[in-house]
Amino acid sequence: MQIRDRIREFRRVPASQLRPHPRNWRTHPEKQRDALRGVLAEIGYAGALLARELDDGSLELIDGHLRAETTPDAEVPVLVLDLSAEEAVKLLTVLDPLGALAGTDHERLAALVAEVETQSEAVRALLDSLIDQSQQPSLVPEAATPEAPALTELFQLVVECSGEAQQKELFERLTAEGFSCRVLVL
């Protein structure tokens, strides 16, 4: 397999000059915003935003929307990618879910979290939630036994809605498309 290097250049750009991608599908709840502000305050920028150059010379974000929004007056590190509009949509769609597919070594995670010192309550809450999530039992046993028969695999999706109206609209649309849906309020 031949892998192309799509990074055209590295730039430092005022975050306010970066155009959000019009099809960005990620939302950012306040606890994420608070945690990001805590990390930026304690560490700073340690990774580049991803963007592509448009025909008018402006840069359209693919990854890093919240960082750019959080620090509009800062000059931020940006990797300018050589992507078409279609490729940018594909990367925008798969980048975060691809990272979410990674597994967790629970012992290593616990050891790392125990070492991290932070002054930010939001960062501490994030770290604590990592430990809480990693301690949740799996719903599917690794091997079925007569005492513990295998559960039928369920492939589910949890969607965070901005309010009850959006939840209702999404529920109605998905059930109309034939999906089996449940409404939850957490």
Length of the chain: 186
CA–CA gap between residue 79 and residue 95 (Å, rounded): 15
Where do the domains of the chain lie, and which CATH numbers do they carry? 7-100 (3.90.1530.10), 152-186 (no CATH)
Amino acid at 126: L
pLDDT of residue 136: 57
Q: Please give the model's pTM, rounded to 2 decimal places.
A: 0.71
**Residue 132 — pLDDT band, cuts 50, 70, 90?**
confident
What's the order of all strands across the beta sheet hosting 59-63?
7-14, 75-81, 49-53, 59-63, 18-19
106, 77, 94, 100: which is closest to 11 by C-alpha?
77
Taking only the tens place, the pLDDT of each residue in 154-181 is 677 788 888 888 888 887 777 777 777 7
Taking only the tens place, the pLDDT of each residue in 16-43 is 999 999 999 999 999 999 999 999 999 9
Judged against a pLDDT cut of 50, whether residue 142 lies above it is answered with no
Across 115-131, average pLDDT: 92
CA–CA gap between residue 77 and residue 40 (Å, rounded): 13
